[in-house]
A and B are shown apart, each in its own frame.
Chain A
């Protein structure tokens, strides 16, 4: 059976994959499109279609997640507005760069290698921090639940303290009682916008660590503001790729249908599961994504089709494993709570 020109099984695969990506997105506040775009590339879609459709998917997911975070008061609109300016400029530069590379026949290779470097680098960083926090008995970044609370100085990373000590006017006060140089905000926004336009990602997996580690923004505000910003940058990116026919609605619609449900479950799980317990899996998933894209590139270069299949399986398995870990941990937390409050299990 065919729907929108796709086999029903393919639609089901998109919905299921979108669901797992949504769980990760809802739980970690990032980690949506960096799995989707490589997966589409691995499935054989043209690079610009994979990037454009990935961006439209991010746009839709960000709308849903922002509506949720807005209700929790975790969006700093002033910071978000400034991020939009920097990101918009970065997206356009990145998009022009991608089409230039496409004309040269290099888009697939350059985007693939960039993905491997970024996913691998951020994956190593997150995994190393998760292991270190585990050893230190640290509860991780998930402590800052009140977006208006002053940040504990001990919770600000050293690198952020160092950067915040540079006083390059104009300095702006943002939520959490910290002051940040306007140029730092615009610089981070432009750099992540460049990646968004080039890779078709929301940029959360770069922007989130950048906002926390480089600027020192509290995690809930970083997540909410990042999502608010992605609504605009993702909308613009989708429009620009749509102009060139780079967005395929038959891919985006089922992915979004699955991810919307997954994101709801993932964001509910944040109140049940300690993020630091799962963070190491997230880091490993990023590393798995890097290996998958690298295998695909190797498969392209050598003509070994089996590497493409392994690559596709690895990326699906990574999303399934970490998404499953989030759901399993949430179910366990509910059951632990039931046991501690003396609820009798059913026969």
Chain B
């Protein structure tokens, strides 16, 4: 049986999970955009090193 805490603890734990989820999505989109910008030039730079 899953032992759940008080309402405040549950809200705090759910917020924590939400923050990690949000950070992950922001990082996915942010790094995705970054790699679109610098990915190709970086590979070209390595190819011509």
Could you tell me which A residues sit within 8 Å of B by CB distance? 56, 59-61, 63-64, 67-68, 92, 96, 235, 238-240, 242-244, 247, 249, 252-253, 256-257, 260-261, 264, 331, 334-335, 337-338, 343-346
Contacts and interface: CB of A to CB of B under 8 A. Distances in A.
A152 B14 CA distance: 44
B20 A334 contact: no
Given A63-B21, A92-B2, A260-B24, A243 B13 contact: yes
Contact of A56 (B3, B9, B16): B16
A337 B35 CA distance: 20
B37 interface: no
Contacts of A63: 21, 24-25, 28
A256 B23 CA distance: 8
Contacts of A59: 17, 20-21, 24
3 smallest CB-CB distances across A and B, nearest first, come from A242-B13, A260-B27, A338-B47
Contact of B35 (A56, A247, A264): A264
A60 B2 contact: no
B9 A243 contact: yes
A345 B43 CA distance: 13
A33 B10 CA distance: 24
Contact of A239 (B13, B25, B35): B13
Interface residues of B, number: 27
Contacts of A56: 16-17, 20
Contact of B48 (A96, A235, A337, A344): A344
Nearest to B2: A92
Contact of B5 (A235, A244, A261, A345): A244
Q: Main SS of the interface on chain A?
A: helix
B21 A247 contact: no
Contact of A235 (B2, B3, B21, B46): B21
Contacts of B43: 334
A334 B47 CA distance: 6
A236 to B, nearest CB: 9
Nearest to B29: A67
A156 to B, nearest CB: 34
Nearest to B47: A338
Contacts of B31: 260-261, 264
Interface in B22-49: 23-25, 27-28, 31-32, 35, 43, 46-49
Contacts of B27: 60, 64, 256-257, 260-261
A64 B24 contact: yes
A67 B16 contact: no
Nearest to B28: A64
A249 B49 CA distance: 40
A243 B47 contact: no
Nearest to B45: A346
B20 A238 contact: yes
Given A63-B28, A243-B9, A238 B2 contact: no
A242 B24 CA distance: 17
